[in-house]
Structure 1
Amino acid sequence: MSERQVETEIEGPIARVWLNRPDKLNAITFDLLDGLVDAAATIERERGVRAVLLEGRGSSFCAGLDFGAVLTRKREVARRFLANPLRGTNGFQRPLWVWRELPVPVIALTRGHVFGGGIQLALAADFRFTTPDCQWSVMEAKWGLVPDMSGTVPLGDLVPADVAKRLVLTGEVFSGEKAVDYGVASGVHEDPSVPAEELVDQILERSPDAVAAGKRLMDRTRRSTPRRAFRLERRFQQAMMRSANTREARRAGTAKEAPAFGPRTFG
């Protein structure tokens, strides 16, 4: 039996997800795309999970699409390229966008290469911590293509229009330190797990319902009208006021104790 190309391990409130093609720099195949969807579905069902760490086995996060494995299967490419009318994504976009839709924070830990589909997967995470010498690139320009795996939306959210266009038009390869300067990465460290775990510790101190609602609220209001944003604020706040985890947060805060939250109920 071949090894899974995406591996998931859940330890208490933390889910760890690895791209598992280290000999191919975790380049993307159809099996890897399917594995990403399955991993996200597993995590969503586990309401005790509070945060996700996403990284690649071996020396690289993800070097992009495995052209040899994917483009030789023309019928499968055509089938997956068709958009699902209900979701609005196709079979190349959905495996990445599911991480943005997951009701818990997703933190990508990057090293080595973050190219093409790899940078789009990292952008689908809520936070990205990188090594200084990690190489990043919206590599599609090199091959006469445009990014088409959902990456244009989070890239446009993160950086000014001129920076986004520069990266998409040129395919520039830039370092982890430059990724922070551009606003593409959240932080840089020789060991990205250090700032990632510090952030997870902070998240675990908060109600899982408030975290899930806060993530969804910020994602949905970023491109909405003020009227719709205010409506979502009211709706989500009403849900928080009914949450047992909110009551526990208030109790613990008043008593100056560490809260004992239950499983996530929002999302």
Structure 2
Amino acid sequence: MSHIACTVDDDAVAHVRLDRPDKLNALTLDMLTDLAATARRLRRVPGLRAVVLSGEGRSFGAGLDLGAAARDPAGVARAFVPTWRGTNRFQEACWAWRRLPVPVIAAVHGHVLGGALQLALAADLRITAPDARWCVMEVARGLVPDMSGVQVLSELTGMETARRLTLTAEEFFGTEAVRLGLASSASADPLTEARALSGTIAGHRPEAVRAAKRLLDRTWRRGPLRTFAAERAAQLRLLPGAMRGR
């Protein structure tokens, strides 16, 4: 059973949802695979105009399910192997959304923790509930952010703030995420606002929207593949101890 749901509406806007609400949408290895596969499928949808990414239930996502990962050490090891794209399975689950030619809008609420935060950062725009609980939590678990989050975090906030959020693993609310530049706006109903925003974008000439996204990506990117390799090396050293609870 897939825990990633995807539909495309009549306006050619895709709605992608993390659908494991009983576990606060904590990410499993299978969900990582499905996230990347869903993004690749959407690249082939004719006329696609935008994507809205959200989470079912009480949260956008509570990060990686380390308990599930600990039960499949061989699967974790395979997931660390980088592909010809320069990303491994953890990184591709997020970075595949950055590769989409159309804008991706994340609507987040509840928990926005760890890997789920990195997934939200992979979107082009983020709308957050004011009371959403954000946290770059990996260091608190004895790990480092390794799902492309280091690359995007420093792009959005600058190095000083990226260091503070990463090294302290402090929790902050959605209103603070907006102030820090991690989200574009706060809304009591982020999903409805994200859908309205996607409708506005979908109303523009699609060739212009795609060209504008491509231009922004190409001029602001800072060499992500080297960052990804550094992420993998750091995490491989830390993961065995984290999975043993140390």
Identify the TM-score tier after normalising by the shorter chain: 0.7 to 0.9
Q: Which residue of 2 aligns with 1:198?
A: 196
CA contact (8 A) 2:52 2:198 kept: no
Structure 1 residue 21: Cα displacement: 0.3
Q: Which residue of 2 aligns with 1:21?
A: 20
> Cα–Cα, structure 1 residues 224 and 41, in superposed 2: closer, same or farther, change >3 Å?
closer
Q: Which residue of 2 aligns with 1:151?
A: 149
> Cα–Cα, structure 1 residues 223 and 40, in superposed 2: closer, same or farther, change >3 Å?
closer
> Is there any run of 5+ residues in structure 2 with no aligned partner, and where?
224-246
Q: Which residue of 1 aligns with 2:214?
A: 216
**Quick one: which amino acid aligns to residue 179 of structure 2?**
D
Q: Which residue of 2 aligns with 1:57?
A: 56
Structure 1 residue 224: Cα displacement: 6.5
CA RMSD, aligned part only? 1.4
**Quick one: which amino acid aligns to residue 47 of structure 2?**
G
Secondary structure of 2:30's counterpart equals helix
**Quick one: which amino acid aligns to residue 67 of structure 1?**
L
Please list, as runs of the form range in 1=range in 2, the aligned pairs for 1:30-41 lying within 5 A after superposition.
30-41=29-40
1:192, 1:107 → 2: CA distance? 10
Q: Which residue of 1 aligns with 2:67?
A: 68
CA contact (8 A) 2:13 2:202 kept: no
Q: Which residue of 2 aligns with 1:188?
A: 186
Please list, as runs of the form range in 1=range in 2, the aligned pairs for 1:63-212 lying within 5 A after superposition.
63-84=62-83, 86-212=84-210
> Cα–Cα, structure 1 residues 165 and 20, in superposed 2: closer, same or farther, change >3 Å?
same
Please list, as runs of the form range in 1=range in 2, the aligned pairs for 1:38-49 lying within 5 A after superposition.
38-49=37-48
Structure 1 residue 32: Cα displacement: 0.7
2:222, 2:25 → 1: CA distance? 35
Q: Give the TM-score of the pair, scaled to structure 1.
A: 0.80
Structure 1 residue 205: Cα displacement: 2.5
1:175, 1:54 → 2: CA distance? 19
Secondary structure of 1:98's counterpart equals helix
> Cα–Cα, structure 1 residues 139 and 224, in superposed 2: closer, same or farther, change >3 Å?
closer
> Cα–Cα, structure 1 residues 224 and 64, in superposed 2: closer, same or farther, change >3 Å?
closer
2:221, 2:132 → 1: CA distance? 30
2:56, 2:99 → 1: CA distance? 24
User: How many residues end up aligned between the 2 structures?
Assistant: 222
2:222, 2:27 → 1: CA distance? 32
Give the number of the structure with larger relative contact order, counting CA–CA contacts within 8 Å between residues 6 or more apart: 2
1:96, 1:175 → 2: CA distance? 22
> Cα–Cα, structure 1 residues 223 and 103, in superposed 2: closer, same or farther, change >3 Å?
closer
1:171, 1:199 → 2: CA distance? 31
**Quick one: which amino acid aligns to residue 133 of structure 1?**
D
**Quick one: which amino acid aligns to residue 202 of structure 1?**
T
1:182, 1:45 → 2: CA distance? 34
2:70, 2:163 → 1: CA distance? 26
**Quick one: which amino acid aligns to residue 28 of structure 1?**
L
Q: Give the TM-score of the pair, scaled to structure 2.
A: 0.87
Q: Provide, for residues 63-109 of structure 1, a one-character-per-residue CA deviation record: whole Å limited to 9, x for no partner.
A: 0000111122111111111212x211111101110001101110001
Please list, as runs of the form range in 1=range in 2, the aligned pairs for 1:213-252 lying within 5 A after superposition.
213-223=211-221
2:6, 2:198 → 1: CA distance? 17
